[in-house]
Amino acid sequence: MTKKILIVVFSAIILAGLTLMFNLENKKVGTVRYHRIEYAEKLESANATLLSQSSSLTDKLAALKGVFEYAKLADTLEENEELSNEAKAIVKIFTTEELKQTLRYADMAVEEYDQSTSVDPVLTNFKAEMAAITEYVNSQEKDVTLTQGVLYSVFCITVVFGVLVILWFIISSFKFLNGAPEKQQTKEEKVEVKEERKPLRLEDITDPDMMVAALVATIDYSNSGARDVKLVNIKKVVE
């Protein structure tokens, strides 16, 4: 009975721990998503204000300044190793690319005010803010030096050759997996088959002309001083 109670208590503790971990993870994900949506809406609202014809130049200037301040804050926060969920959302939303897009919207918004001949201090401040943003964006774009270019090239070449070496090893290993191929004979043995010729007998000759030729050849060869003359073969030549 005591063992059953301990098992039930232990299972309940494990279940409670897993539930707590699951809730904390959901809460963390929900917090990150909440902050991202919040700051994404702020950026979208500022861009909409810049593009809206009904918004005043003062509102557009405030929207432009707000985006610029968040972009500078995101640049500062990005250098930190540990960030809160809200800081991560700011870094994720207010990037340099988004600031460039907002600057293009501001340039479109200021075109309708450039036609006015009167001096507007708000317009002057608006253009000054755009100039400051342009300078900031240009400072964020770092030029690649010659040394960095060489290092990047060496790194890329090393990666390419490394991949080629790996592929070579993989292809070479196939012959060990499939087994060593049988050695092919470079030299073929030539077997000479000698046909055994049966001795030709006079009874085998049925043609009278061939019989005369065989006798003449045999007598002529024996007159030359040869001994044990035997007729081996005779061939009929057809003209």
Q: Is 153 or 3 the better-scoring residue by pLDDT?
A: 153
Inform me whether the pLDDT recorded for 177 exceeds 70: no
Are residues 47 and 59 located together in one domain of the fold? yes
Query: Could you list the residue range(s) of the whole structural domain that residue 71 is in?
Result: 2-142
Residue 165, in any domain of the structure: yes
Ranges 5-14, 134-143, 150-159: which has the least confidence: 5-14
Residue 192, in any domain of the structure: no
Are residues 103 and 154 located together in one domain of the fold? no
Residue 239, in any domain of the structure: yes
For position 187, what pLDDT does the model report? Answer: 47
The per-residue pLDDT of the chain, averaged, comes to 76
Inform me whether the pLDDT recorded for 42 exceeds 80: yes
Contact, 232 vs 199, CB < 8 A? yes
Residue in the structure block whose two tokens are 């040394």: 147
Mean pLDDT of 9-24: 68
Inform me whether the pLDDT recorded for 101 exceeds 60: yes
Q: Is 46 or 227 the better-scoring residue by pLDDT?
A: 46
Residue 41, in any domain of the structure: yes
For position 32, what pLDDT does the model report? Answer: 65
Are residues 152 and 137 located together in one domain of the fold? no
**Span 197-215, pLDDT tens digits:** 566 666 666 677 777 777 7
Are residues 152 and 74 located together in one domain of the fold? no
Tell me the C-alpha to C-alpha distance, in Å, between residue 57 and each of 50, 119, 121, 146: 9, 13, 10, 45
For position 24, what pLDDT does the model report? Answer: 57
Q: How many domains does the chain contain in total? A: 3
**Span 106-124, pLDDT tens digits:** 888 887 776 655 567 888 8
Are residues 156 and 217 located together in one domain of the fold? no
For position 150, what pLDDT does the model report? Answer: 83
DSSP the chain: -HHHHHHHHHHHHHHHHHHHHHHHHHHHHHHHHHHHHHHHHHHHHHHHHHH-SSS-HHHHHHHHHHHHHHHHHHHHHTT-SS--HHHHHHHHHS-HHHHHHHHHHHHHHHHHHHT--S--HHHHHHHHHHHHHHHHHHHHSPPPPHHHHHHHHHHHHHHHHHHHHHHHHHHHHHHHHS-PPPPPPSSPPPPP-PPPPPPP-GGG---HHHHHHHHHHHHHHHHTT-SS-------PPP-
DSSP 152-176: HHHHHHHHHHHHHHHHHHHHHHHHH
Q: Is 23 or 34 the better-scoring residue by pLDDT?
A: 34
C-alpha span between 36 and 42 (Å, rounded): 10
- Tell me phi and psi for residue 27, to 5 degrees: -65, -40
Q: Is 151 or 34 the better-scoring residue by pLDDT?
A: 151
pLDDT band at 157, cuts 50/70/90? very high
Residue 40, in any domain of the structure: yes
pLDDT band at 69, cuts 50/70/90? very high
Ranges 15-24, 84-93, 164-173: which has the least confidence: 15-24
Q: Is 227 or 88 the better-scoring residue by pLDDT?
A: 88
Q: Evaluate the CA torsion angle 197, 198, 200, 205 in order and state its sign.
A: negative
Residue 114, in any domain of the structure: yes
Residue 117, in any domain of the structure: yes
**Span 120-148, pLDDT tens digits:** 788 889 889 999 999 988 887 665 677 87
Q: Is 162 or 199 the better-scoring residue by pLDDT?
A: 162
